[in-house]
């Protein structure tokens, strides 16, 4: 859906990614995400988020969620993400994520979200009983990325479709508001094996 002829974004080259504080940390998180985050901070301005708002779509215990957020923050630093060179924060601490998500909900189209295969996989046969938050997850993900005008997002195979949606939303916003190049159309940085279920963006 995105148009390659759209005027280019002129801002800085910036990476955004996030990790959900759910299911505990494991070797796949390190191999699939953290070691790549460390390398990317040498190439780009880097913003790394602990995406607790995404995690609540599955209804985790609030107290447990807070401790897992701390675990992920510690894991970022232990893996080599340098707080002096990269930004590390908890998503819910920045209210603009939800504010922009609402604005982007008014740009995104139902048909776009209905095509998201990850929702179908997670909801299964019980889609009608799933939360609206789970359905709308990709729009919050687009807000995460576009809030910081990220130009690059590390993605695994399971997140490529969501990133394409972020690009579609960015382009429609730019077109609707006659603001060419206001939001960048974020490019994927394709990750290798193990890069699943951690990227928020």
Quick: pLDDT tens for 151-174: 999 987 777 888 999 999 999 999
Structure tokens, 66: 């807070």
For residues 13-39, average pLDDT: 79
Query: What's the confidence (pLDDT) of residue 24?
Result: 64
Query: What's the confidence (pLDDT) of residue 22?
Result: 73
Taking CA 27 as the corner, what is the angle to CA 21 and CA 28, rounded to the nearest 5 degrees?
70
- Is 14-190 CATH 3.20.20.70? no
């Amino acid at each position: 859906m995105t148009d390659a002829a759209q005027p280019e974004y002129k801002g800085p080259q910036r990476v955004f990614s996030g990790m959900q504080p759910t299911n505990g940390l494991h070797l796949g998180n390190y191999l699939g995400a953290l070691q790549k985050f460390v390398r990317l901070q040498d190439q780009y301005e880097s913003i790394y988020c602990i995406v607790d708002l995404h995690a609540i779509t599955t209804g985790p215990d609030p107290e447990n969620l807070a401790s897992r957020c701390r675990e992920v923050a510690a894991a970022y630093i232990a893996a080599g993400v340098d707080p002096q060179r990269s930004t590390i924060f908890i998503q819910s601490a920045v209210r603009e994520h939800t504010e922009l998500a609402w604005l982007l909900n008014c740009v995104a189209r139902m048909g776009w979200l209905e095509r998201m295969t990850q929702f179908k996989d997670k909801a299964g046969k019980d889609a009608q009983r799933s939360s609206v938050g789970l359905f709308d997850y990709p729009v919050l993900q687009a807000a995460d990325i576009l809030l910081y005008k990220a130009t690059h997002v590390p993605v695994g195979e399971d997140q490529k479709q969501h990133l394409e949606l972020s690009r579609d939303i960015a382009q429609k916003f730019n077109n609707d508001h006659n603001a060419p190049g206001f939001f960048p159309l974020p490019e994927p940085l394709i990750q290798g094996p193990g890069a699943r279920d951690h990227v928020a963006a």
